[in-house]
Homo-oligomer: A and B are copies of this chain.
Amino acid sequence: MRIKVVNPNTTRSMTATIEACARTVAGPGTDVEAVSPTMGPASIESHYDEALAVPGVLAEIAAGEEAGVDGYVIACFGDPGLDAAREIAAGPVVGIAEAAMHAAALLGRGFSVVTTLGRTTGRTWDLAERYGLRRSCLGVHACELPVLDLETDPDARKIVTEACFEALDSDGSDAVVLGCAGMADLCAHISEELGAPVVDGVAAATLFVQSLVTLGLRTGKRGEFAVPPAKPYAGLLAPFARARTARP
């Protein structure tokens, strides 16, 4: 089984971390590869960044389809391009916010999300609503650490851990969800410190995709998520017209 993990930002060091986390949990017969797109923002911290990360994500899904990939993880907590990716992929596609929230919902009544910048919390609430988990999501807490500082700030782990402690206490939640793919490698440590379940979406999504492939489950193709109709694409994005001829 081949799973492709797409990190929607173009920062390759983060992609390497993500790949390591995904590989740690994947089963023995599962081959995991993580990639960054060839175009788009270095990190995703706004609706603008997120919207412009999507073309790169879709190009990676399209390439995966040609290469016979079985399932995909979109490894940014905004789950950018998820609906479109489901249209062009033959196998399942899971976002890390989606996976982390669904997993956390299995661990108790409610969870808290700890994320990077405050300006992204609205998007997290939107996703919780979309996935039906707004009632389970008891709070979204920003630690105001920019995404790429997670890799470089020597206090990053401490800052995120403290935010997790505060989130658990103020929300009375049963678990914490880490709201950024760049926090994936902090998960085990924080969980140990906290003495409470901490969910990293990268690992969770990898295992959910592996589970769906094992179950023979893929996106339903009877309607909304059928392969998109073919049509001309203009300008810079002309190459994207061909991506729509997905594997049958």
Contacts and interface: CB of A to CB of B under 8 A. Distances in A.
A207 B197 contact: no
A68 interface: no
Contacts of A102: 102, 105-106
Contact of A228 (B25, B29, B48): B48
Given A41-B231, A83-B47, A196 B220 contact: yes
A143 interface: no
B88 A48 contact: yes
Interface string A211-248: 11011111111111110110111111110110110000
A163 interface: no
Contacts of A40: 233-235, 237
A51 B55 contact: yes
A202 to B, nearest CB: 10
Total copies of this chain within the assembly: 6
B208 A188 contact: no
A106 B84 contact: no
A141 to B, nearest CB: 12
A37 interface: yes
B51 A58 contact: yes
A173 B231 CA distance: 26
A129 to B, nearest CB: 8
Nearest to A239: B236
19 contacts: A10-B235, A25-B214, A42-B231, A42-B234, A45-B228, A47-B83, A47-B228, A51-B54, A51-B58, A51-B83, A92-B106, A102-B106, A107-B219, A120-B224, A121-B224, A131-B132, A132-B136, A175-B217, A197-B220
The 8 closest A-B pairs by CB, nearest first: A174-B220, A39-B235, A132-B132, A46-B228, A207-B211, A47-B83, A108-B220, A47-B84
